[in-house]
A and B are shown apart, each in its own frame.
Chain A
Amino acid sequence: MKYNMQKTERSKKIAWKIVKYTICILVSVIMLAPFYWMITTSLKEYSKVLEFPPQFFPNPVIFQNYIDLFRMQPFGLYLWNSIYTASIVTLSVVFFASIAGYAFAKLRFAGNNILFLIILSGMMMPVEITTIPLFIALSKLQLVDTHFPLIVPQIFGYGGAFGVFLMRQFYITVPDELIEAGKIDGCSQPRIFYNIVLPMSTSTIATLVIFTFLQNWNEFFVPLIFLSNSRLFTIPLALSLFTTESGVQWHLIMAAASVATVPVLIVFFFSQRKFIESLAMSGLK
């Protein structure tokens, strides 16, 4: 009797395991299939893209689309615009957010908490809402159709607020004694920050770098509104505009989409655990 119960218990467990893995595999396939389809399309000859029945594996596998991509359109330029704007924003956010995060965590001054809350509220201010006044102001300053709106407002908007939050959370965990010791040694605050505190926070900064870069690399709304000169386009904007034209060359578009996505995915796969953790944290509190 008891033996039987154990047996059914065990077969129940195995059945549950099978169900669990089936669900997980099914969901993962749904999530990854679009990427598979993007990459395989980018490796097909144009004539094979519309073939019926469809080729689920490209035959032959060709890289000509990528070569064409960089040759035909100023794609290299778009790539460079994306890299360059996202890098400047990332470096600036890391700098401004880490000093501000340190000040909010460790330095005592009047209004510390309330000012922190004010900056934190930047995380809820949608860029979709601030854009019209910014557009009016920047067009007066002749800064529309430059990279300025893609860079400067991004440093202080959502990305910056998140950065301050993330860095403050980390700096709170730094023991006060270290900072006191630095003071006793006669270090000024900038030296304490630069020589003692900053080196401890490299892994948090790495997370912030990945997060901010990704955010700006993927940004679509701001370039869509502020850019009309195609020499200034970033990859997402260029991609979007080329697919609204008629006669879309899907093999090239998918190659471009792969260039925009695959490097990001590689970085993500290598850093995913820490990255996901800190993203989850950003939602909490």
Chain B
Amino acid sequence: MINKFYTKKKSKHKQSPLQRNDRFWGYAFIMPMLIGYSLFVLAPVVATFFIGLTDWSLIRAPEFIGFENFKSLVTDEDFIASVINTLYFTVLLLPSNLILCLALASLLKDKFPGVGFFRTAIFTPVVTSVVVWGIIWKYILQTDNGIINVLLRMMGVKGPQWLFNTSLAIPVVAFVTLIKGLGMNMVILISAMNDVPEMYYEAANLDGANKWRQFRSVTLPLIAPTIFLVIIMTVIGSLKVFGQIYNLTGGGPGNSSYVLVYYIYQQAFQYYEFGYASSVSAILFIIILVLTLVQWNVRKRWVYHEV
């Protein structure tokens, strides 16, 4: 496997060319990734901001209009509905997700017979495509023949129109999303909980702390950085929600389940208003960027304090 030219390069003289060699191959190895990244990620992100300042649609030539798009957004009812729905979705999803994930992680962090099966079961929706997950639930939640309403009917209850009711659309999508994503956060929390040194629990035990007290005073503070990470990731995920909405409600009924990305999609790829849609993209990007930076900084400080 390894070359046998053993004696060739031993003089001190060769050291420096070897290092130079490292440098050359270092750049050569990262170059494809770097170029691809610049072309297909960085350039589009930068371009989004410029396109957001133009009136650019499929038929018209782009025209620079400054912050006009952003001004129109303020009075755009559909945009406002999208923002409100996105926030509503996030507010519904985040606390329920966090509480359930913490509960499930505490339950499943220890080894006991069957734990592998339970973890896998909870993780299964995570690896399923959002389209498949969406259409299974669309099938389950049909008004007349969906299994949930059929079961309700067997119990003598008339089920609601889950997906065609303006006040139910977002909560239903939030529920479907909640179940799909639980496994991911649970797994992250389990690995954080298992990193908590056993001796802290032993000490707490000696002090007579019960399980709940141990969870509150030992586990929670020690996994706080991970909880924070999970919160930020869940918020970013909620801000980007699209596939579930598209496949379950199609933004409807009316605009009752419009969300930010759905609105971007509609403006850009159904009405071909690239400029207007990009101004929404730019706003979404800034929010995500800020959340990510906050997360990086807070985490850095936290980790520092731990040491």
Contact = CB atoms under 8 A, between A and B. Distances in A.
Interface of A: 20-21, 23-24, 27-28, 30-32, 34-35, 37-38, 41, 49-50, 52-54, 96-97, 99-100, 102-104, 107-110, 112, 115, 118-119, 122, 124-126, 128-137, 152-153, 155-157, 160-161, 164, 181-191, 193, 195-196, 214, 217-218, 220-221, 224-225, 236-237, 239-240, 243-244, 250, 253-254, 257, 260-261, 264-265, 268-269, 272-273, 276-277, 279-281, 283-284
Nearest to B267: A132
Interface of B: 1-6, 8-10, 18-19, 21-23, 25-30, 32-34, 36-37, 39-41, 43-45, 47-48, 51, 56, 104, 107-108, 112, 114, 116-125, 127-140, 145, 147, 150, 153-154, 179, 182-184, 187-188, 190-192, 226, 229-230, 233, 236, 240, 242-243, 246-247, 250, 261, 264-265, 268-269, 274, 277-278, 281, 284-285, 288-289, 292
A28 B108 CA distance: 12
Q: Is the interface of A mostly helix, strand, loop or mixed?
A: helix
Contact of A181 (B2, B4, B107, B139): B2
A195 B147 contact: no
Give the top 5 A-B pairs by smallest Cβ distance, nearest first: A156-B36, A107-B26, A218-B129, A189-B25, A109-B26
B135 A239 contact: yes
B121 A132 contact: no
Contact of A128 (B129, B192, B230, B281): B281
Given A20-B112, A279-B187, 20 more contacts: A31-B182, A35-B136, A100-B33, A100-B34, A103-B29, A108-B23, A108-B26, A122-B41, A125-B41, A129-B284, A130-B45, A132-B274, A133-B51, A184-B9, A218-B130, A239-B132, A240-B135, A243-B135, A260-B132, A269-B120
A3 to B, nearest CB: 22
Contacts of A130: 40-41, 44-45, 48
B30 A103 contact: yes
Contact of B40 (A134, A214, A277): A134
Q: Is the interface of B mostly helix, strand, loop or mixed?
A: helix
Contacts of B107: 20, 23-24
Nearest to B278: A132
B125 A107 contact: no
A108 to B, nearest CB: 6
A115 B114 contact: no
A236 B37 contact: no
Contact of B37 (A21, A129, A160): A160
Given A27-B122, A53-B154, A195-B1, A99 B29 contact: yes
Given A103-B30, A109-B26, A264-B127, A185 B3 contact: yes
B3 A191 contact: yes
Nearest to B137: A34
Contact of B269 (A110, A225, A268, A272): A225
Contacts of B124: 31-32, 35, 265, 268
